[in-house]
Amino acid sequence: MALERKYSKSIGDIIKIKSDFFEKNEEMLRLSAHQADALLAQPKRTVCKICHGAIGEEVGQEMLYQSQRMKYFLCPVCGHVNSEFEDNEDFASRVYIDDDYLANYSESDRRNYETRRDMIYIPKAEFLIDSLKEDGVKKKDIRILDDGAGSGYFVSALKKLGIEQVDGIEISEPQVQFANTMNGDDILTQVDAPDIASIIEKADVNVVSFIGVLEHITNLDEILEALKNNRRIRYIYFSVPMFSMSCVFEAAHQGCYNRHAGGTHTHLFTESSIKYMAENIGFAEYAVWKFGSDIMDLYRMICVSLDQNGNSRLREDFSRRFLPMLDELQEIVDRHEQASEIHMIIKRKS
Ligand SMILES: [Zn+2]
């Protein structure tokens, strides 16, 4: 089976969804600084998150770069990019706080939910379904567990596309309630973090998905071990943040909110660290879809900087001229394998 590599998609619409990043730069920076404080308070990382090779200044390694007070080290064994400090349980308990969810939802909340699902998550679900079809797996035979299901957008998208055997698990009770209310159906189940590895190990599914989740898992080794041991699981679908152009743009514009490295992202993947992780549990790359937000990040940073230095009028003019080029510029970044995000399906080798 030929390996599929797909690039890009239109990100123009996403700018509207992420408008907070533009309007609330100072607020977002403060949140990010608070999260950095929580990470700086942890013990130094001595081994790589993915391969456990020795990393850091203790072993005489020079940092790769620093941004927003955090140093990053490139693992010489697997190529993973690790922050200087450990993302342990204490860190997680300090930074993962439930958002405020309204007690009453209006019809417009439901419309917004559906718009977000259709714009962002339907394409992710289609990519999975189409890729599995290429490999001879019919829609009706897909049995999927979505881990870290959040507000249920991905599960909801899969259901809308006709996948019946889909379950989503999520730690946050308010998010589960929100997801179930928005869908008018109990599409998600609340679970506790310590139970997730055993849920995965026992799940009667052939696909497990982690959309924007692996990078947040403190006990990643246990989760990967569970995936390896449950041989019913044939495919793993994940998206993760990459060491990419966005990292460089952030390091160069530290008065602008760092969406990508920092905050709850304490380590970044590379093609080689993903390969190491997959092979270590008996899987190999099957399909890849790369589309980053690097150029949108750059665009936002330029806009924020122009506003900060009294050039709001020029910023408006810049927006008009730059936005029509944005998707094409990102496509170039994606094709050069420099995208901030990757969507990948890995397949069990035997
Ligand atoms: Zn490593």
**pLDDT value of position 96:** 82
Q: Which of 76, 59, 87, 73 is nearest to 272 (CA)?
A: 76
Compute the distance between CA of residue 186 and CA of residue 166 in angstroms, rounded to an integer: 11
319 Cβ partners below 8 Å, 6+ apart?
Answer: 303
Give me ligand 1 centre to Cα 314, in Å.
44
**For the chain, what is the domain count?**
1
The residues whose Cβ lies within 5 A of ligand 1, an ion, are 48, 50-51, 53, 75, 77-78, 80
**pLDDT value of position 1:** 45
Give me ligand 1 centre to Cα 286, in Å.
22
Instruction: State the DSSP code for 62.
Output: P
**pLDDT value of position 108:** 86
**pLDDT value of position 101:** 61
Give me ligand 1 centre to Cα 10, in Å.
33
Give me ligand 1 centre to Cα 336, in Å.
23
Residue ranges in 62-172 assigned as alpha helix (H)? 89-95, 107-116, 122-134, 153-160
Q: Which domain holds residue 312?
A: 4-348
Give me ligand 1 centre to Cα 78, in Å.
4
Give me ligand 1 centre to Cα 85, in Å.
15
Strand ranges (E), the chain: 4-7, 65-67, 70-74, 81-83, 143-147, 165-170, 188-190, 207-211, 235-241, 267-268, 283-290, 341-348
CATH at 311: 3.40.50.150
Distance spanning both ends of the chain, measured CA to CA: 14
105 Cβ partners below 8 Å, 6+ apart?
Answer: 178, 181, 182
**pLDDT value of position 17:** 46
Give pLDDT tens digits along the chain (350 positions): 445 677 776 655 555 545 666 778 999 999 999 999 999 999 999 999 999 999 999 999 999 999 999 999 999 999 999 999 999 999 998 988 766 666 667 888 899 999 999 999 999 999 999 999 999 999 999 999 999 999 999 999 999 999 999 999 999 999 999 999 999 999 999 999 999 999 999 999 999 999 999 999 999 999 999 999 999 999 999 999 999 999 999 999 999 999 999 999 999 999 999 999 999 999 999 999 998 999 999 999 999 999 999 999 999 999 999 999 999 999 999 999 999 999 999 999 99
CA 312 to chain centre: 32
**pLDDT value of position 2:** 46
| pTM of structure | 0.93
